[in-house]
């Protein structure tokens, strides 16, 4: 058997030699491994303090229920003070997350020494010279690494939180300049964005249109036209949003309202997409980048409702935000089932003064026939309506300060009823009187939760600036 095998081998070799001496079969091309994508989805509930999330949970699923954010396996607390204030505003707090630098109130992604200066009347910057320097953001780092980038919000896309991802200015109200920072090749463009942010969805058309077109730009620039010239698809209504095929390549911007998008309680789904819908469409587009992506999603109107002290609106917007988190996790798990390549972070930029009063009987979730946590406080012992020192009923939810602080002797007031306090426009009572819509932020720590890639790093008490480093390391930026 060995003799025959050897003979056959020699014959094969001789045949090859007669034909040219070498095997003519071409070698297999080397296998080039695709890069492993690394994705970050950073969720920011604006003003979503611990008391607000607790109230929203009771409102939606009852005291013993769970929101999606409650199920995140890694959790901790974040200190929120800014460089110059015990109680921060959204500009420096979001900027701290995005840059790792403490800065003064009103400042957007600039160095610590930057002094906030109110903008000009046309919403352009009035920073002056030698007033701080820009500091690099996580979105800019992702762009430099060749990854997809996106910004989704229910506020104006030029508002403080979204602006902190892509703009650098000494005052958050310079929204005409902030809008210009995202338009490739135009005056004021942030060149660190290279060819531009891939997806931007939210409200705020007014800072992209001229005053002649009903906007607030005094420089006669139509930024929506400039975005189209730069290769963007621009949607300005629900139909335009639905027409975008996010599975195809191409950048897109959605500006669905002149100013902020509607509160979720008031939103007409025929006219405006939900935060969850915008989040999913952004992810579907960004997932096409083989290197991964960075996406920031803001539930921005939670904050606005709390400033109004209209708790029902705030709680519903918190639930809309939580729905967006669930939708994002479901969408990502289609391609990354265990989230081994995806980090999802959920947090808030600051607190508000909302509180849960007294010793209330458990209410269960809110429904049309049950105001729940939005109703009058009933004693846990016997279910009777609780009374204050003036013998008057009061609500479970109140505020430390706000516009509805009754003046005078409460004993002469008409009693509150569940029907009155359950209304969407009801302003809960406050301890300290403020102007309409001017309830303040609170200074307490906020929640942070994480799941997926390197989520185990997110725990304990951390400075807001430390979150930047944790995300940066997890993303390999």
pLDDT band for 35, please (50, 70, 90 cuts): confident
| pTM given for the model | 0.92
* CA 459/CA 65 separation, integer angstroms: 23
90 is catalytic: yes
Contact 164, 190 (CB under 8 A): no
pLDDT band for 80, please (50, 70, 90 cuts): very high
**Rg value, the chain, Cα:** 27
User: Which residue has tokens 């200066």?
Assistant: 117
The percent of residues above 90 in pLDDT, for the chain, comes to: 90
For every residue of 292-341, which 3-state class applies, written as one string?
Answer: EEEEEEEECHHHHHHHHCCHHHHHHHHHHHHHHHHHHHHHHCCCCCCCCC
Within 177-319, strands assigned E span 199-203, 233-235, 252-255, 292-299
Confidence (pLDDT) at 30: 64
**Mind listing the pLDDT tens digit for each residue in 400-444?**
999 999 888 888 899 999 999 999 999 999 999 999 999 999 999
pLDDT band for 470, please (50, 70, 90 cuts): very high
Q: At 75, which helix (H) or strand (E)? A: strand 74-79
Closest CA to 304 of 319, 314, 312, 318: 314
**Mind listing the pLDDT tens digit for each residue in 144-199?**
999 999 999 999 999 999 999 999 999 999 999 999 999 999 999 999 999 999 99
* CA 95/CA 441 separation, integer angstroms: 17
Q: Which of 82, 90, 93, 457 is catalytic?
A: 90
Contact 443, 326 (CB under 8 A): no
**Mind listing the pLDDT tens digit for each residue in 447-466?**
999 999 999 999 999 999 99
Within 158-251, strands assigned E span 199-203, 233-235
- DSSP state for residue 274 in the 8-state scheme: -
């Amino acid at each position: 058997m060995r003799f025959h095998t050897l003979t056959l081998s020699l014959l094969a070799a001789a045949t090859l030699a007669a034909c040219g001496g070498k095997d003519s079969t071409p070698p297999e091309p080397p296998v080039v491994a695709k890069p492993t994508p690394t994705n970050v989805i950073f969720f920011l509930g604006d003003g979503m303090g611990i008391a607000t999330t607790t109230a929203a949970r009771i409102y939606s699923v009852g005291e013993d229920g769970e929101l999606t954010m409650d199920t995140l396996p890694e959790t901790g607390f974040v200190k929120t003070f800014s460089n110059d204030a015990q109680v921060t505003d959204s500009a420096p707090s979001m900027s701290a997350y995005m840059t790792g630098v403490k800065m003064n109130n009103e400042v957007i992604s600039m160095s610590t020494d930057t002094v906030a200066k109110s903008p000009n009347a046309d919403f352009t910057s009035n920073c002056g010279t030698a007033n701080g320097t820009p500091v690099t953001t996580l979105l800019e780092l992702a762009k430099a690494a060749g990854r997809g980038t996106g910004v989704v919000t229910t506020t104006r896309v030029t508002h403080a939180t979204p602006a902190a991802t892509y703009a650098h200015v000494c005052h958050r109200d310079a929204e005409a300049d902030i809008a210009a920072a995202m338009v490739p090749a135009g005056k004021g463009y942030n060149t660190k964005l290279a060819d531009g942010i891939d997806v931007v969805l939210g409200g705020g058309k007014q800072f992209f249109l001229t005053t002649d077109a009903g906007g607030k730009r005094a420089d006669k620039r139509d930024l929506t036209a400039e975005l189209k010239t730069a290769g963007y698809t621009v949607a300005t209504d629900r139909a335009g949003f639905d027409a975008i095929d996010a599975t195809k390549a191409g950048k897109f911007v959605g500006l669905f309202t002149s100013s902020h998008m509607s509160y979720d309680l008031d939103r007409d789904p025929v006219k405006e997409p939900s935060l969850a819908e915008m989040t999913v469409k952004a992810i579907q587009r960004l997932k096409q980048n083989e290197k991964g992506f960075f996406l920031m999603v803001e539930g921005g109107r939670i904050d606005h409702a709390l400033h109004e002290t209209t708790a029902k609106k705030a709680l519903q917007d918190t639930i809309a935000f939580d729905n967006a988190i669930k939708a994002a996790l479901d969408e990502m798990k289609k391609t990354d089932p265990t989230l081994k390549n995806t980090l999802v972070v959920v947090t808030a930029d600051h607190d508000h003064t909302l509180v849960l009063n007294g010793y209330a009987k458990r209410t269960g979730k809110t429904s049309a026939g049950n105001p729940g946590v939005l109703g009058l406080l009933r004693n846990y012992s016997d279910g009777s309506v609780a009374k204050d020192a003036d013998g008057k009923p009061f609500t479970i939810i109140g505020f430390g300060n706000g516009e509805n602080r009754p003046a005078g002797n409460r004993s002469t007031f008409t009693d509150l009823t569940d029907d009155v306090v359950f209304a969407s426009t009801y302003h809960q009572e406050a301890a300290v009187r403020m102007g309409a819509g001017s309830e303040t932020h609170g200074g307490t720590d906020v929640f942070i939760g994480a799941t997926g890639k390197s989520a185990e790093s997110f725990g304990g008490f951390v400075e807001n600036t430390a979150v930047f480093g944790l995300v940066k390391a997890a993303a390999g930026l």
